[in-house]
Amino acid sequence: MKRLSLLLLIYFVFLFKVILSEDKEIIGPTPSATLLLEYTNRFRMNPKAEAQIIMTFLKNYRGKNIEYLAMWNGTAKGGGLIRTFRPRIDFKIFKEEVEKIPSSQPLVFNLQLIQSANSHSKYMQSNDIQTHSEIKNKKHFSGISPFHRTRIAKYPGRFVGENAFLHGKNPWYCHLGFLIDWGPGPGGMQPGRGHRVNLARSIFKEIGIGTIKYKWRRFDEISTTQNFGIVSVKDRFVGGVIYNDKNKNNFYDIGEGVGDVSIMASDGSTCKSWASGAFTLKLKSAKGMTITATYLEIKKETKISSGNNNIKLDWIVPSKERILYLSEKLNVLEKEPTSKDLLTNLYIASRSGLILKEESNNKIKSHIKEIKITLEPIFLELHQLIKKQELKSLNLLLLKIKRKFIKSDFVFIGKEINLLKSSIKRFLDLENRVLKTSNARSLQRLRLQSKKTLKKIHKIKQTLFYKEFLPHWDNLIKEIKSLPF
């Protein structure tokens, strides 16, 4: 593995004349860049909590992944040999240092800074060099210094900072690299911890992140640049992510972003979310106001207080399919108000929450009022039988539901519950065999079997449409993990 070196350059620049190159296309942030900013803002807003997240991660993964193990130990493979190129990271020092960092305002994306960051990431990748200084005759030259590159991209700020990482593995790995700031200094970290200083510097308000995916030897890597900046301390932004939380971890992940969501402030400022789900709204004043986000039929209003610091607002939205499904069922029901199957389907959908505008939600409540009396006890019984793991009774109830509601969405719920039932059956069989086995070799085989079962369950969870029964899947996972091997 190539020697990993993270470089820092912060420029304090006074206005002077620079030659601007031809205009380049300005694009929005990639999902990888958006995820990296989410990590960055999580750290800026609560450094102590981020230190703990990293410590927990490394405790769980440093021995299981060769890249993280190498990062921990300061080693690299070259010429068939393992060589040490810096001291091992002292994470006790790291944790103590990070916990002392004060919280700071969140950053928002700036298109000009994204352009300059993308250009430099492309330069590093094309020339296989990690640097802050570009050479004019080199491929994809975009400006001699960070200041030149941001000026060429027409960013008006005079104070910028840059972090650069050529051989990143993924956004999380890049975040660890910049925040831990590993290098040949005290504690296995860079002298001065310059990348960490950039991440934590409270005066910065805007950021551009360029992530270029590429193949290095046979590895998938990303060339990453972060450009930080500020135009005026009086500028105030609202930023964050709009996303559909598919894995239910209450945090943005690649593939979850929702674009084209309208965001408007009561001072008249407007913007739309990019395809990655990120957005930046520049406010016209420091006064308190209301921020309204609109996605299809649903809205979210948030009141913010007065001040000059940036505000972070995130919005977890239902899937587009679910919103359209509810709207469609409601429209059909308006024409066929007595349809039992339609009423059943609408009630089932409403159990995950009423997500349309208030007028539509009230109509749904009115329509399902009577059918709710019939269906609610059925759902209650399903949950009780699953919790008690009474599989025979559960099977009989599912057959009864299938006969009675054969043309409704209960059929699809039954299929997902059958998957859960089969997984519970595998767990009970596994538990029984573990309790009866004392042979070490047999226990090892059962342990491997439990890992395969867990892997299969996690895959099933990703495909589930009805989220109401997810807590039962989570409890099953806990039970399998707690088996006494």
Check whether 86 has a pLDDT greater than 70.
no
Type of residue numbered 117:
A
Check whether 288 has a pLDDT greater than 60.
yes
Q: Phi and psi dihedrals of 351, rounded to 5?
A: -65, -20
> For position 66, what pLDDT does the model report?
60
Q: What angle do CA 276, 277, 283 make, to 5 degrees?
A: 125
> For position 18, what pLDDT does the model report?
34
Strongest mean pLDDT among 65-79, 367-381, 398-412: 367-381
For the stretch 465-474, contacts whose Cβ atoms lie closer than 8 Å and that sit 24 or more positions apart, written own/partner, are: 465/412, 465/416, 466/348, 466/352, 466/412, 466/413, 466/416, 467/248, 467/352, 468/351, 468/352, 468/379, 469/383, 469/386, 469/416, 469/417, 469/420, 470/248, 472/383, 472/386, 472/387, 472/420, 473/420, 473/423
Check whether 3 has a pLDDT greater than 70.
no
> For position 20, what pLDDT does the model report?
33
> For position 485, what pLDDT does the model report?
77
Would you say 304 and 337 are in contact if contact means Cβ atoms under 8 Å apart?
no
Quick: pLDDT tens for 387-404: 999 999 999 999 999 898
- Of the ranges 3-7, 376-380, 415-419, which one carries the lowest mean pLDDT score? 3-7
> For position 162, what pLDDT does the model report?
97
Q: How confident is the model at residue 385 (pLDDT cuts 50, 70, 90)?
A: very high
Q: How confident is the model at residue 2 (pLDDT cuts 50, 70, 90)?
A: very low
> For position 270, what pLDDT does the model report?
97
Check whether 324 has a pLDDT greater than 80.
yes
Distance CA 298, CA 311 (A): 22
Q: How confident is the model at residue 65 (pLDDT cuts 50, 70, 90)?
A: low
Distance CA 403, CA 400 (A): 5
Mean pLDDT of 197-225: 93
DSSP structure string for 105-162: PPPEE-HHHHHHHHHHHHHHHHHT---S---TTSTT---SSHHHHHHHTT---SEEEE
What are the DSSP E strand ranges found in 351-393? none
Mean pLDDT of 451-464: 91
Check whether 119 has a pLDDT greater than 90.
yes
- Of the ranges 188-192, 272-276, 317-321, which one carries the lowest mean pLDDT score? 317-321
Mean pLDDT of 181-203: 93
Strongest mean pLDDT among 339-343, 350-354, 424-428: 424-428
> For position 76, what pLDDT does the model report?
56
- Of the ranges 62-71, 85-94, 167-176, 433-442, which one carries the lowest mean pLDDT score? 62-71
Mean pLDDT of 172-182: 94
Quick: pLDDT tens for 235-265: 999 999 999 998 888 999 999 999 999 999 9
- Among residues 8, 4, 169, the alpha carbon closest in space to that of 75 is found at 4
Q: How confident is the model at residue 355 (pLDDT cuts 50, 70, 90)?
A: confident
> For position 147, what pLDDT does the model report?
93
Q: Phi and psi dihedrals of 6, rounded to 5?
A: -105, 130
Look over the chain and give the mean of its residue pLDDT values, rounded to a whole number: 88
For tokens 């070490």, name the residue. Answer: 440
> For position 477, what pLDDT does the model report?
95
Check whether 87 has a pLDDT greater than 80.
no
Query: Which of the two residues, 148 and 331, has the higher pLDDT score?
Result: 148
Q: How confident is the model at residue 82 (pLDDT cuts 50, 70, 90)?
A: very low
> For position 80, what pLDDT does the model report?
46
- Of the ranges 22-31, 240-249, 434-443, which one carries the lowest mean pLDDT score? 22-31
For 341, counting Cβ atoms within 10 Å of its Cβ (0-12 exposed, 13-18 middle, 19+ buried), the class is middle
Model confidence, pTM: 0.78
For tokens 């912060």, name the residue. Answer: 10
Strongest mean pLDDT among 58-72, 157-171, 328-342: 157-171
